[in-house]
Amino acid sequence: MTQTLSSRRIHCRDLGLISYNEAWDYQKQLHQYLINRKRNVDQELEEGVESNDHFFLICSHLPVYTLGKSGKMDHLLKSEDDLLKEGFEFFKINRGGDITYHGPGQIVGYPILDLDAFFTDVHKYVRFLEEAILRTLAEWNIIGYREPDYTGVWVMHDELPAKRKICAIGVHLSRWVTMHGFAFNVQTDLSHFNNIVPCGINSAERDVCSMETILGYAPDMNIVKQRLIHHFSEIFETEILQVSTIYRL
């Protein structure tokens, strides 16, 4: 049964700049917490967390490449040893999608939701994530859109020579509990995408971009983050409980 709006509370936690592995461990911890709850496993509730609450982690990562379960290793254009020497990490992970880059200047979002409380439709869930990004972009008069054959959010701009992806999306669900999420380029160093075939899309007509490349200046990350959280809350019809420190269950 779908929860009422008043019972859809999401703890939004800003983890700041954090290593991928640490954030992944925290995701897995919260993900298992929600699964255990569905299985009626006895577990201690964190202070301030009610029995039906969900989580939404926001962060930026130290430079890292991640390869989804359907990705191809040859889309990583350098050896792992070379990447390590240049200050990059690399992880094979269990989300959908191919390879992507995470780094400073990017807003990464990890909703950890029990979709039984919302709707049990993966495609609708991904569309909702895309919609949160689209509405955020619109506040800076950036027109984003969906490409029919690809997930994520794209931008077409007069000064851009190709279709550009501004937000990548890759998710994983177990027992309708979500993890992983989106990577939204705000003021990201786009040269780091040159070490990969982003999202496995090798086409001269498609590339990556950021809000900074479109606007000609770097927007305030905190303001973009706040507006994104606002639109996420509207789309999923939730009450957002926002804090700014890392928690552990």
CA 199 to CA 99: how far, in whole Å? 5
Compute CA 3 distance to the chain's CA centroid, rounded to the nearest angstrom: 24
What are the structure tokens assigned to 46, written together?
């964190």
DSSP 138-154: HTTT--EE--TTS-SEE
List the one residue out of 22, 180, 191, 33 whose CA is nearest residue 108: 180
CA 166 to CA 185: how far, in whole Å? 6
CA 85 to CA 218: how far, in whole Å? 28
* The three-state (H, E, C) secondary structure of 210-232, written as one string: CHHHHHCCCCCHHHHHHHHHHHH
8 A C-beta contact, residue 219 and residue 187 = yes
Residues with a catalytic annotation lie at 199
